[in-house]
Structure 1
Amino acid sequence: MKLQRNGRTKALAIGAMALVSSLSLAACGSDNNPTPAPSGSAGTSAAAIACGKGGQLLASGSTAQSNAIDVWKAAFGSACSSTTITYGGGGSGTGVQQFNQGKVAFAGTDSALKPTEVDASKAVCKTGQGIDLPMVAGLVSIVFNVDGVKNLVLDGPTIAKIFDSKITTWNDPAIAALNPGVTLPSAPIQAIHRSDDSGTTANFTTYLSKAGGGNWTHAPSKTWAGTGGQSAAQSAGVSAQVKQVKNSISYVELSYAQTNNLTSASIATGASKPVDATAVNAATTFANAKIVGTGSDLTLSLDYATKAEGAYPIVLVTYEVVCDKGNAPATLDTLKSFLTYTISDAGQQAIGDKGYVPLPKELASKVQAVIPTLA
């Protein structure tokens, strides 16, 4: 099913812009030690949240959504003091593995479940299987720390060559051609990638495969396969390394770029001008997303090679992986309550100023319809 764009792209962009510019939301706690926020500080009233039966809810996975989870934990914890939500992060690969081992009630992954992972989930979801529910929309920004360079334009083929060690210096002719008038140093490029299995890596390498002009010959994967470069664990580690290492470049979610005051490159897509890494521009891409999952699974297909005006191409969706049937009875009620909040208008708007993109209402309504059916 295609999310209709007619007349809605501008509305999505305007809505995202308003959210990014006007919402002010304090996130409290950490992945391993959730701390409820004082009443009202999480940007939503207690009356807007149905708490469920309470208890402890364990989850892990994507670090791309960690900042969003922090916001949601604060709001939910403030309204529902009898519930403790612990999100362990660890990366998408870890989250899916722990879900299929029955260690967590849900997992966050930036890459939809593979058929083998769905099959493995049936051992935990004894009467059903794992499904993907899109919950956090965002974008992957190409962050850089280059001496004397404040604005940088790159395109798919050039990015692919940089991250596969085919372009190794900043003043390479291919980079210079995209940045007329910019003084680029002759320094070696320090390309940094994720060391852990990562859905962010999967989305980034899918972009390189689709938009790299044949210069990325590796299959898209959570596991990094490029040649050379340095590595760092998780989104926080990658962000910290770019901040510390001169003449470095990496890929990280916009939320982490903003938190760490990192500069993001603009992407030349074939549109009339390069596209900046903003939530507004990502919203334009999400307006054309297609649902390709079946049944209760809402896996999306995204156009990484888009040339639409103002459409940022390197986007990602974090899915919450749950059982369609066979969820643990002790946590099912609380799981449904928490997910109902996160996909609500209040929940989606709450993460708008953290570098995320509220899901289009057409898609959010489909997620909202699935959650009550979880058993």
Structure 2
Amino acid sequence: MLPSNKRTRTGSSRHRGVRRGTASAALAVLLLAITACGSDDAVRDGSAPEVPDDLECFSGSLSGAGSSAQENAMTAWIAGYQGGCEEARVYYNSIGSGGGRSQFIDGAVTFAGTDSAMDPEENADARERCGGSDTINLPAYVVAIAVVFNLEGVDSLNLRPETVAGIFNQDITRWDDPEIAEDNPDVDLPDMAITPVNRSDESGTTENFTHYLEQAAPDAWPHEADGQWPLTPRESAQGNSGIADTVKRAEGSIGYVEMSHMHGMSAASIGVGDEFVEISPEAAAQVVAGSPRREDNPSEYDLALDLDYGTTEAGSYPVVLVSYETVCLDYPDDQEAERVKAFLRYVVSPEGQELASQETGSAPVNDTLREQLLESIDAVS
């Protein structure tokens, strides 16, 4: 076991975290520089992030890479953890889920953040890096994907799954199209071309979004779910922040981003059964709560889920993303194992989940899933 430098409650400098809003630009700079070493800002209400009384600390560094959907949550987790563990340094590079899985397989980082769980082929590729053991996927971040748009004078829209699919398949090309107008009778829709914006990089957000289109609107979306966008794009951008920035700049555009990247943008309400459901953490959590584990998980400790994107359950928001922390079940290096376990115990703790929710609008994992996560983390050696 590594020596523990347990945090104390004395000295406010050890408990400083991240303030929502004004900290966003600073956090982006930290992550673009690859190094996320905590911040001198407080959380949005001016207080320090809460940390568990039994927080486990390590001395040294821990590195991860991957999902840009986790970008804001990971920055908050790193700030919170390092606020309680002053000798620990955690680094996370938000290069996208595909890049994170590749770096993890290559042994460049200790864990991957990914919006798409490792598939059996990737798990096999990672066995050498993991000393012959399997990988496990831990669903630590649950958040909705917003369908954001930029139309002057229009703050809200209702979009059925078939309409969303038609827009992104470039079959519905103008904002006053009858398929949009029918569900928005009180909205003054402009006679303007629609510019769909998709990810240019391999993306777990794209994979989850195309899973939704494939399951919820199969007749209007003739493509298999994939992390790479299947069409020649009208407009594309890298990362969730890239899509958000592009949509903000271009009137008539529409895109898809993880909820914490909305930054005050307008988001569509999505058709579910006979109703339209606004985006919210609670509505997204309903989908996750009703989803079973994936059938081909290589281990009882792998918690990858088979999400029901096509749900018609009232009040559910089905455009949802579960982002995983992917780790080795057995690490060749004992210190690597102990460091990742200590950090992930904080990530899934009530305090860590609440901090991420405050900063990003994510849905904290429930107590049942937390128990399963802690059991899987304890199994890492």
Q: Give me the TM-score of the superposition, normalised by structure 1.
A: 0.89
8 Å CA contact 1:42–1:71 kept in 2: the answer is no
Distance 1:345 1:210 in 2: 32
Q: Superposition pairs for residues 106-125 of structure 1, below 5 Å?
A: 106-125=111-130
The code of the aligned residue for 1:145 comes to: N
Counterpart position of 2:369: 363
Give the superposition deviation at 1:315: 0.7
| Structure 2 residues without counterparts, runs of 5 or longer | 1-16
The code of the aligned residue for 1:282 comes to: A
8 Å CA contact 1:165–1:228 kept in 2: the answer is no
Counterpart position of 1:16: none
Give the superposition deviation at 1:326: 2.5
Select between 40-49 and 121-130 the one with higher mean Cα deviation: 40-49
The code of the aligned residue for 2:143 comes to: G
Q: Superposition pairs for residues 248-267 of structure 1, below 5 Å?
A: 248-257=253-262, 260-267=263-270
Distance 1:25 1:95 in 2: 24
8 Å CA contact 1:163–1:229 kept in 2: the answer is no
Select between 202-211 and 330-339 the one with higher mean Cα deviation: 330-339
8 Å CA contact 1:63–1:90 kept in 2: the answer is yes
8 Å CA contact 2:197–2:233 kept in 1: the answer is no
8 Å CA contact 1:218–1:226 kept in 2: the answer is no
Give the superposition deviation at 1:280: 1.6
Q: CA-to-partner distance for each residue in 1:251-296, whole Å, 9 max, x for gaps?
A: 0011111xx211110011114x210011121122222121223421
| Structure 1 residues without counterparts, runs of 5 or longer | 1-23
The code of the aligned residue for 1:289 comes to: S
Distance 2:193 2:215 in 1: 26
Distance 1:173 1:48 in 2: 58
Q: Superposition pairs for residues 118-197 of structure 1, below 5 Å?
A: 118-197=123-202
8 Å CA contact 1:25–1:350 kept in 2: the answer is no
Distance 1:77 1:350 in 2: 14
* Aligned with 1:239 (options 227, 244, 247): 244
Counterpart position of 1:277: 279
Select between 360-369 and 36-45 the one with higher mean Cα deviation: 36-45
Counterpart position of 1:290: 292
1:212 partnered with 2:217: yes
Select between 33-42 and 293-302 the one with higher mean Cα deviation: 33-42
8 Å CA contact 1:143–1:262 kept in 2: the answer is yes
Question: RMSD across aligned C-alpha pairs, in angstroms?
Answer: 1.7
Distance 1:326 1:228 in 2: 41
Q: Superposition pairs for residues 328-343 of structure 1, below 5 Å?
A: 328-343=333-348
2:230 counterpart SS class = coil
* Aligned with 2:305 (options 300, 303, 314): 300
Distance 1:220 1:195 in 2: 15
Give the superposition deviation at 1:372: 1.4
Q: Give me the TM-score of the superposition, normalised by structure 2.
A: 0.88
Distance 1:283 1:243 in 2: 27
Give the superposition deviation at 1:363: 1.1
**Structure with larger RCO (C-alpha < 8 A, sep 6+):** 1
8 Å CA contact 2:301–2:375 kept in 1: the answer is no
Alignment: residue pair count: 348
8 Å CA contact 2:63–2:110 kept in 1: the answer is yes
1:102 counterpart SS class = coil
8 Å CA contact 2:144–2:281 kept in 1: the answer is yes
1:300 counterpart SS class = coil
The code of the aligned residue for 1:374 comes to: V
Give the superposition deviation at 1:43: 1.7
Distance 1:120 1:300 in 2: 21
* Aligned with 1:71 (options 58, 71, 76): 76
Give the superposition deviation at 1:35: 3.4
Counterpart position of 1:36: 38
Distance 1:63 1:216 in 2: 25
